[in-house]
């Protein structure tokens, strides 16, 4: 019988999706003795998971509850198969992305500050903000006090399952979408990352939703910010190190771009870091996937992989195959 170790703080009722004929072994954060399991479902918090790993023996398969598995290969080594939970974050992360775009375009941070001040007359600050963002663009009458998403030119960097969900949610806004991945595709049209610099000047919104790899680390840096148009919105729902933080701070402080981030580099972002105080910036502390539906979805994906593993069928979400 397969022994499957899982985080003990997961509600027992959620484990009902697991296939029959396995032994579920709860693993506490304070585990202080060795435990033999065949399959490990790590705690989503990597620091807790690594403490537990030190006491695990016999693991052949890791079923991560997250799409990102960057830390796992270095901990478990090359002789363990690792699967991620591709698809578990699609809806919540896509909704965060749409919300972050609309929050930025509608100037909600400014209007929340105006609400706190109780001074209706400050709405004129929105017109001044619009002019600063767009580099002294012509004044409007009546004043422009927010912007529209409909019809915007959007560049999606990364086009996996989350990227496709973001595109689906953007469809009602009739945006002009261009997509970038590692290699070109024809249906739908996708540009190779080698063409990124040529595409950036046209984009009004740049969405980052790609995995962190050696190739994607620092993908958006000083040159890329210089190519972006005045007032372009950068939305990072991927990983912090995809963006060069120093270059991002410089671009924001210069008033060249604006940004919405759910991830940063470093992370967690230290209290004294200059990024906290940059203009035209929205930061959320890596919460894009943390909805109540996350764990049920992730466990369902893990359960389906576990059933395939028991049946000797190919696994679907392999990110590392065990070395022979």
pLDDT in tens, 266-294: 999 999 999 999 999 999 999 999 999 99
* pLDDT for the residue 297: 95
Model pLDDT, residue 138: 67
Check whether residue 231 and residue 305 sit in a common domain.
no
Q: Are residues 235 and 298 in the same domain?
A: no
Q: Residue 313 has what DSSP assignment?
A: P
Are 165 and 52 in the same domain? no
Categorize the per-residue pLDDT at 53 as very low, low, confident or very high, splitting at 50, 70 and 90. Answer: very high
Whether 161 and 239 share a structural domain:
yes
As given in the structure block, the two tokens for residue 150 are 């409909």
Helix 90-105 crosses helix 161-170 at what angle (to 10 degrees)?
50
Cβ-contact 58, 254 below 8 angstroms: no
Which residue's entry shows tokens 């990072």? 236
Confidence of residue 219 (pLDDT cuts 50, 70, 90): very high
Q: What is the CB neighbour count within 10 angstroms for residue 45?
A: 13
Q: How far, in Å, CA of 274 to CA of 283, rounded?
A: 12
| pLDDT tens, residue by residue, 234-270 | 999 999 999 999 999 999 999 999 999 999 999 999 9
- The answer to whether residue 131 is domain-embedded is no
Q: Residue 39 and residue 33: Cα distance in Å, rounded?
A: 17
Q: Is the same domain home to 76 and 99?
A: no
| Same domain? 42 vs 30 | yes
For residue 243, which of 271, 224, 269, 270 has the smallest C-alpha distance?
Answer: 224
pTM for the structure as a whole: 0.91
Do 7 and 54 sit in the same domain of this protein? Answer: yes
Domain that holds residue 47: 2-88+291-320
Instruction: Give pLDDT tens digits for 137-167.
Output: 667 889 999 999 999 999 999 999 999 999 9
63 in a structural domain: yes
Would residue 129 count as lying in a domain? no
Active site residues: 239, 267, 286
Residues 217, 97, single domain; the answer is yes
Domain contains 126: no
The CATH number for 27's domain is 3.40.50.720
Residues 6+ apart with CB under 8 A from 307: 19
- For residue 130, tell me if it sits in a domain: no
- Which tokens is 231 given? 């007032």
CB 199 within 8 A of CB 191: yes
CA proximity to 321, closest of 127, 153, 83: 83
Residue 80 lies in a domain: yes
Question: Is residue 249 domain-shared with residue 311, that is, in the same domain?
Answer: no
How many structural domains are present in the chain?
2
Q: Are residues 11 and 84 located together in one domain of the fold? A: yes
Report if residue 15 sits inside a domain: yes
Give the number of C-alpha atoms closer than 13 A to the C-alpha of residue 41, restricted to the C-beta side: 28
């Amino acid at each position: 019988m397969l022994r499957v170790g899982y985080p003990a703080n997961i509600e027992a009722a959620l484990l009902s999706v697991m296939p029959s004929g396995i032994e579920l072994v709860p693993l506490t954060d304070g585990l202080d003795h060795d435990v033999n399991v065949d399959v490990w479902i790590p705690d989503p918090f990597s620091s807790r998971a690594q403490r537990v790993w030190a006491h695990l023996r016999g693991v052949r398969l890791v079923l991560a509850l997250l799409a990102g598995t960057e830390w796992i290969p270095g901990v478990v080594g090359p002789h363990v198969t690792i699967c991620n939970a591709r698809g578990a974050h699609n809806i919540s992360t896509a909704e965060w992305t749409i919300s972050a775009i609309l929050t930025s375009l509608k100037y909600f941070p400014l209007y929340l500050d105006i609400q706190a001040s109780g001074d209706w007359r400050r709405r004129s600050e929105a017109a001044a903000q619009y002019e600063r963002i767009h580099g002294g663009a012509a004044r409007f009458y009546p004043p422009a006090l927010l912007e529209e998403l409909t019809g915007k030119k959007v560049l999606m960097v990364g086009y996996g399952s989350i990227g496709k969900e973001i595109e689906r949610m953007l469809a009602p806004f009739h945006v002009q979408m261009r997509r970038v991945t590692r290699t070109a595709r024809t249906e739908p049209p996708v540009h190779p990352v080698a063409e990124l610099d040529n595409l950036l000047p046209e984009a009004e919104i740049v969405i980052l939703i790609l995995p962190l790899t050696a190739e994607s680390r620092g993908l958006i840096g000083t040159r890329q910010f210089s190519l972006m148009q005045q007032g372009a919105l950068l939305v990072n729902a991927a990983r912090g190190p995809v963006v060069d933080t120093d270059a991002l701070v410089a671009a924001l402080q210069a008033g060249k771009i604006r940004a919405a981030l759910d991830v940063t580099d470093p992370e967690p972002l230290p209290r004294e870091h200059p990024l906290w105080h940059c203009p035209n910036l929205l930061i959320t502390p890596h919460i894009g996937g943390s909805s109540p539906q996350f764990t049920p979805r992730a466990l369902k994906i893990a359960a389906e992989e576990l059933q395939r593993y028991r049946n000797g069928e190919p696994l679907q979400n392999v990110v590392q195959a065990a070395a022979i």
